[in-house]
């Protein structure tokens, strides 16, 4: 059997900061379960089928989706004008390096008081949760 080709699945969550505080202690492992909050351990996103257009075999495609999603859901601006989020260029570079090396990418930030966004790219097959199956293999 051929080894699975590394690829990535993208997930977007947007909601209230309050909802994130109420995360479950474990993610239900039933494949039909659709969580209403991000899982505590990112790899468990693989238990949820991504949108059909959110599976990639190239890191640059993953990054393009993450950046476009970020542009649609911008971080909140502080009243004093200071940056609320790390330098975006540095964030992109660090995420790209991680994805190339099999590390999940996750950007989580406030979009307004009480609202948060979580943009996640999960490596598949997952390096830590090897028993999880791929929710949507890439098209050949």
Strand partners, 38: none
Q: Please answer whether residues 119 and 106 qualify as being in contact, where contact means their C-beta atoms are separated by less than 8 angstroms.
A: yes
Show pLDDT as tens, one digit a residue, over the chain (140 residues): 455 789 999 999 999 888 777 655 455 555 555 567 788 788 888 887 777 679 999 999 999 999 999 999 999 888 887 777 778 999 999 999 999 999 999 999 989 888 999 999 999 999 888 888 888 888 76
Cis bond leading into 125, ω under 30°? yes
Q: What angle do CA 38, 44, 49 make, to 5 degrees?
A: 85
* CB-based contacts of 60, cutoff 8 Å, min separation 6: none
The confidence score (pLDDT) of residue 14 equals: 92
Spell out the domain ranges in the chain.
Answer: 36-134
- What does the pLDDT read at residue 136? 86
């Amino acid at each position: 059997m051929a080894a699975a080709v590394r690829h990535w699945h993208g997930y977007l969550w947007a909601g209230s900061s309050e909802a994130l505080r109420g995360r479950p202690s474990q993610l239900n492992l039933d494949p039909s379960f659709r969580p209403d909050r991000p899982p505590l351990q990112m790899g468990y996103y693989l238990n949820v089928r991504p949108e059909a257009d959110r599976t990639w075999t190239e890191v640059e495609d993953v990054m393009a989706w993450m950046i476009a999603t970020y542009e649609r859901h911008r971080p909140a601006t502080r009243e004093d004008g200071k940056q609320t989020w790390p330098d975006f260029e540095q964030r992109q570079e660090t995420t790209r390096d991680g994805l190339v090396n099999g590390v999940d990418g996750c950007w989580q930030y406030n979009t307004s008081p009480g609202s948060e966004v979580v943009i996640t790219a999960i490596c598949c097959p997952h390096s830590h949760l090897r028993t999880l199956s791929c929710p949507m293999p890439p098209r050949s």
